[in-house]
Amino acid sequence: MIKLYAYPRSRSTRVVWMLEEIGVDYEFIKIELLQGAGQAEAYLKIHADGKVPAIDDDGFVLTESAAIMSYLGDKYSACNLLPEPKTQDRARYDEWCFFVLTELEQPLWTVGKHTFVLPEEKRVPEILDVAHWEFLKACNVLEKRLQGKEYALGDSFSAVDILVAHTLRWAHGFGVPSGSALLDAYREKMSARPAFERVMAKESEAS
């Protein structure tokens, strides 16, 4: 059974969502990040930086949320959450993933880090204005990319929707506005999926 090293309402939520959409059995192993469990010697052998998520699939250990999602999507390809490798559709999927991770998530994470994640003495409040501005700029691009579409890749739900919707949910949770009614409606629509209700239940159980 796949072991997932996770912490509720973190980037591991993306992987929980992916696993719930796929419908495969997995073991949710909570790493008590706030108690320093990420830095325990045993866990550092799984994730060299002591972060979540990580998976162990029968001895194959993988980190990085988006890489894990791609791995699972390819492994359970019958679920159609990822386009076939070596196709233009797959290149489009990659384009979306890189956009989310480098353009959308990055300024949002800067807000998170300099508001509540970093130790207080490392926070630079002056960076918040520009980070909010960069996030809104990325949301503006995202809005254009989603315009007239039901899902990111077109007609059917995919792993990209998990990545985008999770990032927008994070922003909402951080109190960072998207500035877009379309994005807010998309986030709520994705969050209404039955698999996401199971994600919430799984994480509440682990909290």
Ligand X SMILES: N[C@@H](CCC(=O)N[C@@H](CS)C(=O)NCC(=O)O)C(=O)O
When asked if residue 153 is in the footprint of ligand X (CB under 6 A), the reply is no
11 is a contact residue toward ligand X (CB under 6 A): yes
> Does 52 engage in binding with ligand X (CB under 6 A)?
yes
SS3 category, 59: coil
Binding residues for ligand X restricted to 181-200, rule: CB under 6 A: none
Q: Which stretch binds ligand X (CB under 6 A): 16-24, 44-52, 124-132, 197-205?
A: 44-52
Q: Alpha-carbon distance 105 to 31, whole Å? A: 22
Whole-angstrom Cα distance, residue 65 to residue 26? 16
- Asked if residue 37 binds ligand X (CB under 6 A), the reply is no
- Please say which residue, 50 or 177, places its beta carbon nearer to ligand X: 50
Taking alpha carbons only, the member of 84, 87, 104 closest to residue 96 is 104
166 binds ligand X (CB under 6 A): no
Q: Which is nearer to ligand X, 65 or 70 (CB)?
A: 65
Contact pick of 4, 8, 10, 135 for ligand X (by CB under 6 A): 10
How far from each other are the two terminal CA atoms of the chain, in whole angstroms?
22
DSSP assigned state of 198: H
Asked if the peptide bond before residue 194 counts as cis, ω within 30 degrees of 0, the response is no
Radius of gyration of the chain (CA): 17
Nearer to ligand X, 56 or 64 (CB): 64
With CB under 6 A as the contact rule, the residue among 24, 37, 40, 50 that binds ligand X is: 50
Q: Which stretch binds ligand X (CB under 6 A): 18-26, 51-59, 69-77, 80-88?
A: 51-59
Least distance from C-beta 88 to ligand X, angstroms?
25
196, 20 Cβ separation under 8 angstroms: yes
**159-174 helix and 12-22 helix, angle to the nearest 10 degrees:** 140
Which residues form the interface with ligand X (CB under 6 A)? 10-11, 33, 38, 50-53, 64-65
